[in-house]
Structure 1
Amino acid sequence: MTAPTIREETLSKERLRLWLRMLRVTRQVEAALRERLRVEFDSTLPRFDVMAALFREREGLKMNELSKRLRVSNGNVTGIVDRLADDGLVERIAIEGDRRATRVRLTPNGCDAFSMMAEAHQGWVNELLDGVDEQDAHHIGELLHRLPTDTGARQQ
Structure 2
Amino acid sequence: MANIESPTAKKLLHAFMQFRKTGWHDKKIAGYNPSEFKVLATIEHGANKHQTEMKVSEISQQLKVTPPTVTQIINTLEKDGLVERTIDPNDRRAVKIKLTPKGLKAAQKAREAFTETFLGLIDYLGEEESEQLADLLSKVHQYFQQLNR
TM-score w.r.t. the length of structure 1 is: 0.71
Q: Please report how far the alpha carbon of residue 27 of structure 1 lies from its aligned counterpart in structure 2 after TM superposition.
A: 4.7
Relative to structure 2, which stretch is displaced further, 14-23 or 111-120? 14-23
SS of corresponding position for 2:142: coil
Q: Which runs of 5+ in 2 are unaligned?
A: none
Instruction: State how far apart, in whole Å, the 2-side matches of 1:96 and 1:72 are.
Output: 26
Unaligned runs of 5+ in 1: 1-7
Task: Identify if the C-alpha distance between structure 1 residues 124 and 144 changes in structure 2 by more than 3 Å, giving closer, same or farther.
Answer: closer
Q: Which stretch of the first structure deviates more once superposed, 11-20 or 107-116?
A: 11-20
Which residue of structure 2 aligns with residue 49 of structure 1?
Answer: 38
Taking only aligned residues, the RMSD between alpha carbons, in angstroms, comes to: 3.0
Offset at residue 70 of structure 1 (A): 1.8
Aligned to 2:58: 65
Q: How does 1:1-156 map to 2 (within 5 A)?
A: 8-9=1-2, 14=8, 17-18=11-12, 21-22=15-16, 24-28=18-22, 29-31=24-26, 33-34=27-28, 37=29, 41=31, 43-58=32-47, 59=51, 60-127=53-120, 131-146=124-139, 147-148=141-142, 151=145, 153-154=146-147
Identity of matched residues, %: 25
The TM-score, its normalising length taken from structure 2, stands at 0.74
For the residue of structure 2 that corresponds to 1:72, the secondary structure is coil
Q: Deviations over 1:44-95 (max 9, x none)?
A: 2211111011111102321112112222222221111012122221122322
Letter paired with 2:12: L
Shift in alpha-carbon separation, 1:54–1:98, aligned structure 2, 3 A: same
Distance in 2, Cα, partners of 1:51 & 1:134:
29
In structure 1, what is the Cα distance between the partners aligned to 2:57 and 2:114?
26
- Residues of 2 paired with 1:30 and 1:125: CA distance? 12
| Deviation >6 Å, runs of 4+ | none
Q: Match for 2:60: what amino acid?
A: S
**1:134–1:99 Cα change, 3 Å:** same
Aligned partners of 2:122 and 2:130 also within 8 Å: no
